[in-house]
Amino acid sequence: MKLVGPWISGFTRRTAITMKLLGIPFEHLNLNAYTDKEEVRRYSPMGKVPALVLDSGEVLIDSAGIIDVLHEMVGPEKALLPQSGAPRLRALQLVGVGLAIYPKLSALFDESLRPENYRLQSAIEGFAEQAIVGYKILEEEAGDGWYVNDTLSQADIMAVVCYEAAAQFVLPDVVTPVNFPRLAALAERAIKIDAFASTVPHL
């Protein structure tokens, strides 16, 4: 299988972390949706990443659907999501918060690329405010271990992906270990694991 997209795409990174944790081998095609448009479109006609090219040649886009298929490949026992009930609901709630944060980071990053007098300050403030509400939820819900049943799940993966992208690139003055100590500790626990350490994002 081939995974198309760069680690700076949080959606691609969470997919890659999932594949590595599940022991599903893949070839990484480090193609950026914005700077490698033509090449990305060879695999993903709409230019979206991540795209997973299956061994059959079929292509799947959207990290949620891709991860669903990956979980199905390994079966519910190994899936990085509790199988049912309250733990599953909690994991999906937290993943939902992360999935809502990340596009705000992308929007903030896009705004930062505009010449200063073309930036819309109200939009920048709005995106940041929404993202920070999300980080506060993830911070409040974090403990000393992993989020759900102290077993690493999709909730931890998405929270770490969101924390690192903001802390390193998009909101480095706000999303700090001082303001979000539990998220910072979660990220520290995660980075000791190869799936996280080997997918560190670079601009």
Ligand X SMILES: N[C@@H](CCC(=O)N[C@@H](CS)C(=O)NCC(=O)O)C(=O)O
Q: List the x/- string, 155-194, binding to ligand X by CB under 6 A.
A: ----------------------------------------
- 104 in contact with ligand X (CB under 6 A): no
18 vs 132, which CB is nearer to ligand X? 18
The whole-angstrom separation of Cα 36 and Cα 38 is 6
- 106 in contact with ligand X (CB under 6 A): yes
Q: What stretch of H or E contains 58?
A: none
The whole-angstrom separation of Cα 121 and Cα 114 is 12
Instruction: Please tell me whether the peptide bond between 50 and the residue prior to it is cis, using omega within 30 degrees of 0.
Output: yes
59 vs 185, which CB is nearer to ligand X? 59
31 vs 184, which CB is nearer to ligand X? 31
71 vs 182, which CB is nearer to ligand X? 71
- 7 in contact with ligand X (CB under 6 A): no
Q: Virtual CA dihedral for 58, 64, 65, 68, nearest 10 degrees?
A: 110
Distances (CA, A) of 10 to 55, 96, 119: 24, 14, 24
Q: List the x/- string, 10-49, binding to ligand X by CB under 6 A.
A: -x---------------------x-------------xxx
Smallest separation (angstroms) from ligand X to the CB of 26: 16
The two most distant CA atoms of the chain are separated, in Å, by: 53
Note whether 98 and 175 are within 8 A (CB): no
Interaction site with ligand X (CB under 6 A): 9, 11, 33, 47-50, 62-64, 106
